[in-house]
């Protein structure tokens, strides 16, 4: 039986939906800026272009991190942690028999997994309650596997 935990963000919009919303907003802003420009207030157009640029940077950051996630799974003799951030995959393998789990100690604290000098913190994409639940489940699963040989 393979036990696995998937920890990911709860994003309200997909990257495609963000692009459509951005395009609609840009069209609306440019229309307003052009109306002001026709009445001689060209400086409004400059501020709208600045606003569009800053908004584009923020939405690109959002879209790039919308698919971030962490998985924790038991494999033969080990605990595998995979973290994907901004499309970059990081995979860390910990020996199950040596792994210690430190529960989050504060509201924003992460779950710390440590084995033989390798430390991984997980749970940054989920809320406090789910972090505590996952930490308890991981601890319970590690204990049950320690007695099965």
What is d(CA 91, CA 120) in angstroms, rounded to the nearest whole number?
A: 10
Read off the pLDDT of residues 50-71 as tens digits, 9 standing for 90 and up.
Answer: 999 999 999 888 888 888 999 9
Structural domain spans, the chain: 4-8+69-146, 15-65
Is the Cβ–Cβ distance between 90 and 83 less than 8 Å?
Answer: yes
Predicted local confidence at residue 6, as pLDDT: 93
Q: Give this prediction's pTM.
A: 0.74
- Secondary element (H or E) of residue 45: helix 42-65
CB 69 within 8 A of CB 36: no
């Amino acid at each position: 039986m393979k036990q696995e935990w998937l920890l990911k963000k709860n994003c309200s919009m997909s990257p495609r939906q963000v692009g459509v919303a951005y395009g609609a907003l840009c069209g609306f802003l440019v229309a307003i800026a052009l109306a002001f420009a026709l009445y001689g207030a060209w400086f409004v157009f400059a501020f709208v272009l600045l606003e569009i640029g800053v908004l584009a940077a923020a939405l690109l950051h959002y879209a790039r991190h919308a698919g971030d996630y962490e998985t924790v799974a038991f494999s033969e003799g080990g605990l595998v942690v995979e973290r994907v951030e901004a499309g970059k995959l990081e995979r860390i393998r910990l020996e199950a028999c040596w792994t210690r789990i430190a529960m989050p100690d504060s509201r924003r604290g992460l779950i710390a997994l440590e084995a033989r000098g390798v430390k991984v913190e997980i749970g940054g994409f989920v809320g406090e309650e789910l972090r505590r639940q996952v930490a308890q489940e991981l601890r319970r699963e590690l204990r049950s596997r320690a007695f099965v040989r």
